[in-house]
C-alpha cells in the first residue's frame, strides 16, 4: 500500500470515528431558543444575530455555565466590520464537557455594559436571555 493510500485510509477512519462520536457535528441555536441539547464532546454555537459593533451593539455572557457541563470557548465575531453602519453577525461557542444541565445567560447592550445595559429601540432584547443546555 502506498503512503498516500495509507494516509487516506487513516484519515477516513479518523473522520468516521469522529462522526460516530459526534465530534464533527455541532449544534447551533438562536440566543432566544430557551433550551438546547447536545451530546458530550459536541460544540454548541449560540447565534446572537445581527449586531453593529461600530455603533455600540454588544453581547455579554453575564451568567456563565457550569464548567463541569459546558465550557465557554468564547465569542466568535462575524466578518470584519470596521466601517460605521456595517452590520455583522456574532456567535458564542461552548464545548459540551459532560452530561448534565446548566444555564447560560446573555445580555444585549447598546453603548453600555453590564450591569447597566441599555437597549437600542427596535434592536436586541431589553432583558437578559437564558438558555438552558442539557448535555447528554
How many Å apart are CA 61 and CA 104, to the nearest integer?
A: 7
How many Å apart are CA 56 and CA 67, to the nearest integer?
A: 30
Residue 101 lies in a domain: yes
Residue 78 lies in a domain: yes
pLDDT tens digit string along 2-34? Answer: 443 333 333 333 333 444 444 446 999 999 999
Distances (CA, A) of 96 to 9, 36, 49, 109: 29, 11, 22, 27
Residue 18 lies in a domain: no
How many Å apart are CA 104 and CA 66, to the nearest integer?
A: 9
pLDDT (0 to 100) of residue 72: 97
Residue 67 or residue 1, greater confidence: 67
pLDDT (0 to 100) of residue 80: 64
Structural domain total, the chain: 1
Domain of residue 79 covers 26-135
pLDDT (0 to 100) of residue 92: 96
Amino acid at each position: 500500500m502506498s503512503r498516500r493510500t495509507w494516509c487516506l485510509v487513516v484519515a477516513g477512519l479518523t473522520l468516521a470515528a469522529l462522526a460516530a462520536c459526534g465530534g464533527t457535528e455541532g449544534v447551533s441555536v438562536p440566543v432566544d431558543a430557551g433550551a438546547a441539547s447536545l451530546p458530550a464532546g459536541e460544540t454548541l454555537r449560540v447565534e446572537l444575530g445581527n449586531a453593529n459593533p461600530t455603533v455600540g451593539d454588544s453581547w455579554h455572557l453575564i451568567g456563565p455555565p457550569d464548567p463541569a457541563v459546558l465550557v465557554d470557548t468564547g465569542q466568535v465575531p462575524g466578518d470584519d466590520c470596521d466601517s460605521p453602519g456595517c452590520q455583522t453577525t456574532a456567535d458564542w461557542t461552548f464545548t459540551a464537557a459532560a452530561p448534565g444541565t446548566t444555564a447560560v445567560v446573555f445580555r444585549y447592550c447598546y453603548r453600555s455594559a453590564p450591569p447597566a445595559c441599555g437597549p437600542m429601540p427596535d434592536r436586541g432584547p431589553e432583558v437578559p436571555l437564558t438558555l438552558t443546555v442539557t448535555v447528554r
